[in-house]
Structures are given as C-alpha cells and as structure tokens.
Homo-oligomer: A and B are copies of this chain.
Amino acid sequence: METNTGEFMLSARDRPENSSDPDLTAANSEMIYRVFYSKAKLKAIAQTSALLAGFAMVAMVEVTLDNAVPYPSILLVLFSCVTTLLVIVHLFSLMIATCILPNIEAAVGIRKWTSSPHNKFKSQIEVAWILSTGFGLVLFLIEVALLIWIKFWTIMDHGPPQSVTIDSEHLVTDSPGPPAPVNNNPSHKGAMLAAIIASVAFLVPGGIAFIYFGASFYSKLANHAREIRMSEMDKIHEKRLL
C-alpha cells in the first residue's frame, strides 16, 4: 500500500493515458514491468526461504530420537534426506535472491532499466522461484508428515522387539520384564491410526492438490503475462500502422 499511490497521484495530474512520455512507451513499460516483477519475486523468495530453512533446522535440532525405539530405516532415511534437501533448496534460493537483488535495486535507483540484470538471469530467477515456492513448500509438508511419524513411532507397538532374534537364550531369563512394556504400549493403536490417517487421508490429497493448483497457477500466470504482452504488441503495431 505504502507510497505506490503517491506516484499515481502525481502522474494523474499531468499525464493522460496515451501520453508521449519518453519512459512509458509500450515497449519500455513492458521492460519496467519485468524489472519490478523480478524485484518483487526475489524479495518474496528471500523472506520465505530464510524463514522455512530456519524452521527446518530448528526441527532437526529439537526432535528427540529415543535410543530404545526401533525406528524403521526408511523413516530415518526419508527424514534426514528431506531435512537436508529442504535446507539446500531454501539456502540455494536465498543465495540467488541475495546475489541478484542488489543489482536490480541499484538499477532501479538510477532508473537505467537496461542495466538491470533481470534479463540475463531470467532462468535463474525462475529456478529460485520454483525451488522456493513450489518444491520447497511441498518438502515442508512432507517434513511435517515425517515429524508426526517419528513422534508417534515412539508410542507405537513395534511387534516383537529385534533383540529377540539376536540373543534368544538371553530372552528366556528376563524377557517378561523389559520387552513387555514395549510390546504392550498402551496407546499404540491410536498412534498408528493417527499417523496413517494424517498422512494418507490428509497429506496425500493435500500434496496432490498443492502440486495441481501450483502447476495450474503457474501456467495461468504465464498465460496472463503472455496475453498482456500480446495486447501491448498489438497496440504498438496499430500505432505504427496509423
């Protein structure tokens, strides 16, 4: 909201819509639009990525892995990989954003739209954007689901404990003691049910909806941008014909 209205006020006074303003010909306006668009995108990336990378690291530090609980390998592998990927993806976006932003800001500061590097780094900005807003958010969703599994695995019933198969004669003497509480964990059914429902009934459709809408969004926005540009081009052509 800030002061964007300020310029519109000032210009409304002395600038009719199709004025001969040297900076605001259709072609120029398209270019300036791209500069502002890249700047707004990179700013959004920098903010979201720093926040989510921080949350991912806090989750890694604070989660408590119980020494006596037989976590399945696949869960641990997935958790460590998703956390690592999440941090890599967001730090990568952050690096791209903080590298290109100062150049664009300085170019905006002296109004040399052509000296802004947003055109040369078009694909990198796009990659950072998709990594941060698309891939990064989906990874964040998966991270939350894995956290729920790790939390609830602690209070689940893990079937006959692994130590049974290894030292079996040791089992005879005092097995009723230690393994019993593991085997009869009082809330194992609820934990299993909760983790399954949360992942299958909510996260899977949620993730699919996320990806579907994200992709449709992206194509719709691209279409919108193309249409706007097309109509601008048409206007220029018409003018030239007149």
Contact = CB atoms under 8 A, between A and B. Distances in A.
Given A51-B50, A109-B4, A110-B36, A77 B224 contact: no
A189 B73 contact: yes
A167 B175 CA distance: 13
Contact of A197 (B81, B88, B158, B180): B81
Of listed A40, A58, A161, residue having the most chain B CB within 10 A: A40
A214 B95 CA distance: 8
A65 B69 CA distance: 13
8 contacts: A1-B2, A44-B101, A55-B57, A55-B58, A60-B144, A81-B197, A87-B140, A92-B210
Given A76-B190, A84-B145, 6 more contacts: A1-B2, A54-B55, A61-B147, A65-B191, A68-B181, A87-B144
Contacts of A65: 151-152, 154-155, 191
- The 10 A-B pairs with the shortest beta carbon distances in the complex, nearest first, are A73-B190, A70-B186, A40-B102, A7-B9, A80-B198, A36-B109, A37-B106, A76-B194, A71-B187, A36-B106
A203 to B, nearest CB: 6
A105 interface: yes
Interface residues of A, number: 143
B7 A40 contact: no
Interface string A72-105: 1111111111011101100110111011111101
Contacts of A32: 8, 109-110
Interface string A44-69: 10101011001101111111111111
A73 B194 contact: yes
Contacts of A120: 220, 224
A40 B78 CA distance: 39
Given A36-B109, A55-B54, A110-B29, A187 B220 contact: no
